[in-house]
Amino acid sequence: MKVSEALTGRKKPVLSLEILPPDKGSNVEDLYRLIDPFLEFDPLFISVTFHQPQNGVSVENGQKIKIRRQKRPGTVAISASLKHRFGVETVPHLICAGYNRYELEDALLELHYLGLENIFVIRGDPQPGEKEFRPEPGGPTYACELVKQIDNLNHGYYLEGVKPAAATDFCCGVAGYPEKHPESPSLEFDLLHLEEKIEAGARFVITQLFFSAEIYQSYLKRLKQAGISVPVLPGFKLLYNQKQLTKIPATFGVSLPPAMIEAFEACRTPEEEKKTGLEFGLELAENLLESGAPGIHIFTMSQKDPVINLLKILFKR
């Protein structure tokens, strides 16, 4: 199943979910138990985030050794496992950060051999403590370069010029930023980058989270004016405590509606916070679907109960 084709040919709004791989040392069965209740709502796909390795130093026998740590490994294995265990389409993330083009080509072939045909491509963040993104030597600087590499593989073009070469058949998704990427100087500049990704071969877009349906509608209008016609899934996150009022905007470079901030600040108990988050989340989700969004893509962040409560109301279960 190609995500782009499923979104275009849908007969009703779809649901998709994004999950985190478990921390290193955690039990993967806990992840399966987290996902199981969501299957009642028939998600179109589950995407699995990828966390770039972080450069570090280890001292062994008095010698300093450069190492690369990954807190949440296993994206590829988890994606394949979920697809075969639950029969649900999975979309692994693939990032530019930390890898050269040859390593990325090998990773793509592993995904291809596992039967995973949808990929979500992002550049990745700077290393912790660094202000600017620095590509791996021989690695892509921008997501559009990795999208183009995937498109080349889909046409049988390998980095080493292998002939004859079997073509892959990946459907590639990319990120869109309704309030612009934090590093972009303007909405117009950000849109140019999205156009580059679409021209390179991306077939669908999942947006960064936002908290106003008007922001999504305005974004679609700008995309239409730019001639971008691929399906655009709105990214959605449910807030459930006051701490997120400062953390979410700082982390993702997004805005919160004043009415939402006021309502959360008036809460006096965790139960009131959860109720407020559910009310605003439900209103946003309903407004998005009523305005013609192809569905909603929920960033679960491994939170189960608040999201399940919303889905039960939204889909009347």
Specify the number of domains making up the chain.
Answer: 1
On the question of pLDDT at 137 being above 60, the answer is: yes
pLDDT (mean) for 18-46: 93
pLDDT by residue (tens digit) across 180-191? 999 999 999 999
Amino acid of residue 257: P
Of residues 25 and 106, more confidence is placed in 106
pLDDT at 317: 56
On the question of pLDDT at 62 being above 90, the answer is: no
**Residue 160: which domain range?**
3-314
pLDDT (mean) for 103-112: 96
CATH of residue 164: 3.20.20.220
What pTM, to 2 d.p., does this model score?
0.94
Strand order in the sheet with 232-233: 232-233, 204-207, 171-176, 118-122, 89-95, 45-48, 14-19, 295-299, 235-236
pLDDT at 83: 95
pLDDT at 53: 75
pLDDT at 213: 96
Residue 14, strand partner residues: 295
pLDDT by residue (tens digit) across 192-236? 999 999 999 999 999 999 999 999 999 999 999 999 999 999 999
Helices (H), the chain: 3-8, 28-35, 75-86, 101-113, 143-154, 187-200, 213-225, 244-252, 258-265, 270-290, 305-314
pLDDT by residue (tens digit) across 4-13? 999 999 889 9
The DSSP letter of residue 20 is P
